[in-house]
Structures are given as C-alpha cells and as structure tokens.
Homo-oligomer: A and B are copies of this chain.
Amino acid sequence: MRKGIVHYETGEKIDGYLLIKSATKGLASNGKPFLTLMLGDHTGEVEAKLWDCNTEDETTFVGSVIIHVTGDIHDYRGKQQLKIKGIRPTTPMDHVKLADFLQCAPLAPEEMLEKITQYIFEMKNANIQRITRHLLKKHREAFIEVPAATKNHHEFVSGLAYHVVSMLDLAKALANLYPTLDTDLLYSGVILHDLGKVIELSGPVATTYTLEGKLLGHISIMVNEIGQVAKELGIDSEEVMILQHLVLSHHSKGEWGSPKAPLIREAEMLHMIDNIDAKMNMLDRTLERVKPGEFSEKVYAMDNRSFYKPTFQD
C-alpha cells in the first residue's frame, strides 16, 4: 500500500496495512453487532464497517492495533468509506511498526523545538524567559508529541508544537506591523497557552480527555503550573500574574472557557492569533480536496459552514 489512504479514489481496491484509531460497536437493525473502525495511516484516515462481527472480533480489533485489510472504497453521502472484505490483526511477522502509521506535523520535532527555543532566546525580560523556558523543558517530552486537540484542528502527532510554531511566526509578523506589541509577552503567551494539554489529553494516539482534563481543563492546569514554577524559581514579580492572565483569558469569553476576558493588549492579540491559525488549518485541510467550482464538506467547528473554491482558483 504505497500511496497514503487519503489518495485513494472511489472504486479503488485496498490491500495493505492500516492502524485502528478507534473502534465503536454498533447494533445493526437486524440485531447483529458490527464495528465502526476509523483506520488510518500517515496521510489521514477512512471510516470502515465490519459487519456481523463476533465477540472475538470485538476484542481483537480495538484502538491502536495495526491490521491488514482488503476491500474497496465506496462513496457514502459524499464521504469515502472502506468496505472491508478481509481483515486480520498483524503479528511480528508482518514487520510493521506504529510510528509509520501516525499522521504527523509537516515539520520534524527537533526542528520545531529549535525554532521555539530561538524565540525564547530572543526574549528580553529575564523573568518571562526563565518561566517559559522552564515550563517548556519540564513538559518537553509530552509537548513534542501531543496533538493540539482531539478533533477539529491540528489533531495529529506533534500538532500542538506545529500550532505553536505557526503562531509564533504570526506573532512576529504582527509585532512588526504593530510595534506597540510586547514580543516577550506574545511569544511566551503563544508557547504556554495550550501547554496544559499535555496533562489534559491522554497522548498522541487514540487521544481522549484525562480525568484532570475533564475536571480542571488545560487552562486552569497551566495557570497552576505557572504559579508553581515561579515559586520554584523564586520569581515573585508582576510577570507571573500577567503570564497566568494570558493563559487564563486566551479563550476570550466565559462561555468559551476563559474565566476572565483579555485585559492586556497582548492577551487580546493572543486570542486572535490562536483563532487565525486554527481556522487556517481547518480551511486548508478542508479545501485541499475540493475542486474549483465546488463546495467543501461542512466544517463543524466553523458554524457548520460549507466553503466554496472559486473556479478561477486551483
């Protein structure tokens, strides 16, 4: 299966390895159970149905298992669906490994870390720099792997790091155009704003919310972390509270999860930078497969709108 799963056209046959990203049991209206499988590789994913499955199937074909599958691609209500003909779990004899089946950010982890480190290096305020560097170092392992979300945008391995790098570049461009912006605050805010997701989310594969994620949320988690790190570093100046405020307010409104609205110039801009990068990520991935003169699938996180690609664009 040389080419990635997202490049198959309706009608093509599939014969190769795929990773089970999630498996949900259903009950057909004839009373027999079936499995809805999300199967993926490094290019994306496809939905598949395994009809008339037995109890063994239900315990064999679960999330994170790599399978060998044959079947063909159908069109179902404008979305592709894989009709499974044959399926089996892989064994060591298949010589496949998880890493090859994960969708990743377009940049390598080291490259992204280096870019972020460079931005931290450019900070002039020592307190902001130390807190930011310390927190990034503390959570580096998870940070470099975690997606930015479980769905909607940047929901792939290293998605958060990629989101942060894009936002940093955007922050720099904005600060060039609006010189009153404090780049120290802006860069630190970008790096820390979603860092709590390393605790809120379960990890890079088959991502779910942790208990702490559900009860406290990544915003409160990171506000606490900033407080504790500042204490450890012996920093007790206003910068601590301002960084906490940047994280606290980056969703902008109470009903979107921020207990305080942005009250600092850079907090307001942090929210908008976050918004632009998330939306561009969703728009790009949605319109990628759309032909000029056609409308896209509906984008749930953008008010369920369906976007149009003009005929004079390609």
Chain A residues in the interface with B (C-beta under 8 A):
24-31, 34, 49, 51, 74, 76-77, 81, 83, 125, 166, 169-170, 173-174, 176-178, 180, 182, 185, 211-212, 214-217, 219-220, 223-224, 227-228, 231, 237-239, 241-242, 244-245, 248, 253-265, 268-269, 272, 275-276, 279-280, 283-284, 287, 295, 302-303, 305-313
Contacts and interface: CB of A to CB of B under 8 A. Distances in A.
Nearest to A125: B312
A185 B30 CA distance: 48
A177 B182 contact: no
Contact of A241 (B212, B255, B269): B212
A160 to B, nearest CB: 18
A68 B265 CA distance: 38
Contacts of A34: 29
Contact of A248 (B216, B258, B295): B216
A312 B237 contact: yes
A97 to B, nearest CB: 32
Given A215-B308, A238-B310, A275-B272, A51 B30 contact: yes
Contacts of A237: 312
Given A215-B260, A220-B260, A253-B254, 13 more contacts: A25-B76, A27-B74, A28-B30, A29-B29, A31-B49, A170-B174, A170-B177, A185-B310, A224-B227, A242-B310, A254-B254, A262-B305, A265-B287
A308 B27 contact: no
B244 A284 contact: no
Contacts of A224: 223-224, 227
A180 B264 contact: no
Nearest to A238: B311
A241 B166 CA distance: 32
A130 to B, nearest CB: 14
B177 A166 contact: yes
A15 to B, nearest CB: 19
B255 A258 contact: no
A241 B215 contact: yes
A245 B216 CA distance: 6
Given A25-B77, A231-B228, A257-B259, A211 B30 contact: no
A265 B307 contact: yes
20 contacts: A27-B76, A27-B81, A28-B29, A30-B30, A125-B312, A166-B177, A178-B284, A180-B284, A185-B310, A214-B260, A215-B241, A215-B244, A215-B308, A220-B223, A220-B248, A227-B228, A228-B228, A261-B303, A263-B308, A269-B280
